[in-house]
A and B are shown apart, each in its own frame.
Chain A
Amino acid sequence: MPFNDPVYRIMGDRSLLVELGDEIGLGVNQKVRALFLSLKDDPLEGVVESIPTYRSLLLIFDPLKITLPMLREKVWHRLTILDPSQLPEPRKVEIPVIYGGQYGPDLEWVAGYHGITQHEVIRRHTEHIYHVYMIGFMPGHPYMGELPEGLVTPRRETPRTVVPQGSVGLAQGQTGVYSTQSPGGWQIIGWTPFVLFDSAKWPPALLEMGDRVKFFAINEEEMVNWQE
């Protein structure tokens, strides 16, 4: 549920966690996004970083420039004048994916888990439009959802020590793309030639919070058309 009043939690002496709800859901996340964008457009003096996530916004501040009670009051005031219905239209991003085989080593397992064909997993994954709830874990790494009921899959029992950059995975109700090579426990069903994080570009991340993402299937031969 979205909270009527935010819950403030302190994380050490220089960060304030503003919780706007207690669940993963579009309504709460849009409220977080609205607060994040408002503070981006019109920053509060002394705030050096703000990190939006599923249901909260973390504000990191310089305690020599602004006190905690003052920050809390300014955030509260900002929330009262926010209008989440005035949010900018979400961007629509289409991402090509090679499913299965060496590109998606867990596709077969996922199909077996749901008692459907691999083709049906791909159909379900590409049919749906996903909301980007947040970017985190690694630079440019999106957390997206919700997966259709028939694709909700537990994480791997044993996480992999190395998941290649570009791997497309599932975990519970979420889907995501590994933006950099890293360890990870998601079920890997495919791989995209798209680069999700490039520090030499602006913005450095392909996706941002609030985007709407649709995956589409390509084959190995088509891959070159999508590489930069």
Chain B
Amino acid sequence: MAGVKSLEILVPGPLTTVQDHGRFGFGAYGVPPSGAVDSFSLRVGNLLVGNSENEACLEITVMGPKIMAHIDIAIAVTGADLQPRINETPLTMWGSHILKKGETLSFKGLRNGCRAYLAVGGGICVPAIMDSKSTNLAAKFGGLEGRPLRAGDILFSSSPHRHLMTSGDTLSHELIPLYPEDSTVRVILGPQDDHFPTASKEIFLNSPFTVTPQSDRTGIRLAGPHIEAKRTLKESIISEGVVPGTIQIPGDGQPIIILGETVTGGYRKIATVISADLPLLGQVKPGDTLNFRRVSIDEAYQAIREQEKWINKLKEKMKAR
């Protein structure tokens, strides 16, 4: 495989996978996007170490791995705060640092959020399958052999020495997300909001929901007040395409937010999370509280432009270095 031996997984953590921005254009074959659930953290991490923003990172879930460097390499840890440290020294997140040959990166424990991202200067060399390096766990392809990382895995990176000079670069403090345990995501109603009586929509928009332990990369399963569809309707609809952020209401009335591991679904969907808030869905964990706030599509576009403005600012800053 191309690239030089850069990192070795000593301890994998419960679920650490290779993910880039996702796999697009193969939905007609039933191939879902997969990819980093928190795309903002992925993009920022990559930019900080001088990668293209869509390069593959390690997505680290709830508990950290232990990773040793085989060479001096630039790294950035973004997303959830799992208290990363180099050997015993705490590592500042949202910035580029050098992990020296022989040093280990480990994580002391979760302080907020759900998924941390480890970006590596020079990326992670795994074959792109259908234009993406993302791991599809259900169909077992992409990433490293289509599976979560294991102890003893060796990762390769492309020309990592060319990224060492990014060390010291950081994301502006005010842009670092906080991931509170009680958060609100913005939604646009639809596509089947007309299948729900007004009272159900009111309940959906005005009640807190609890994230259940059955949540994973395929979806966030919520528990809360029963959301009832109009009584004259059948339990399911004719299966149709879905996107990450779509909120479906099955027969039991408990919402499920679909993430990027499927392309179709047969339950009615009351609302869809706006693009700018999708990264936050990657950071809610079991026990957290989630609220929904309705916005207009213009507000959604305003939020996307705002987010892209900050990403572009970071890109310019990195280019100017």
Contacts and interface: CB of A to CB of B under 8 A. Distances in A.
Q: Do A and B bind each other?
A: yes
Interface of A: 9-15, 17, 23-24, 36, 40, 48-58, 60, 63-64, 68, 134-141, 143, 179-180, 182, 197, 199-200, 203-205, 208-209
B28 A36 contact: yes
Interface stretch (B77-85, B117-125, B262-270): B262-270
Contacts of B243: 11-12, 14-15, 58, 60
A26 B200 CA distance: 35
A197 B28 contact: no
Which size bracket describes the interface of B in this complex? 35 or more
Contact of A12 (B24, B272, B305): B272
A55 B300 contact: no
B64 interface: no
Interface string B111-143: 000000000000000000110000010111110
B240 interface: yes
B275 interface: yes
B231 to A, nearest CB: 19
A201 B192 CA distance: 37
Interface in B197-228: none
B151 interface: no
Contacts of A13: 188, 272, 274-275, 297, 300-301, 304
B269 A11 contact: yes
B263 A51 contact: yes
B264 A53 contact: yes
A140 B29 contact: yes
Nearest to B298: A13
B139 A139 contact: yes
Contacts of B273: 12
B188 A180 contact: no
B308 interface: yes
24 contacts: A9-B191, A10-B191, A10-B272, A11-B190, A14-B243, A15-B243, A24-B238, A48-B25, A50-B28, A53-B239, A54-B239, A55-B238, A56-B240, A56-B241, A58-B243, A64-B304, A137-B30, A137-B239, A140-B139, A141-B30, A199-B141, A200-B141, A203-B29, A204-B130
Contact of B275 (A14, A36, A49, A179): A14
Nearest to A198: B141
B304 A58 contact: no
B171 interface: no
Contacts of B142: 199
Contact of A139 (B31, B240, B269): B31
A55 B266 CA distance: 12
B28 A180 contact: no
Contacts of A40: 28
What 5 A-B pairs come out closest when comparing CB atoms? Answer: A58-B241, A136-B264, A12-B272, A51-B241, A199-B141
Nearest to A7: B191
B238 A54 contact: yes
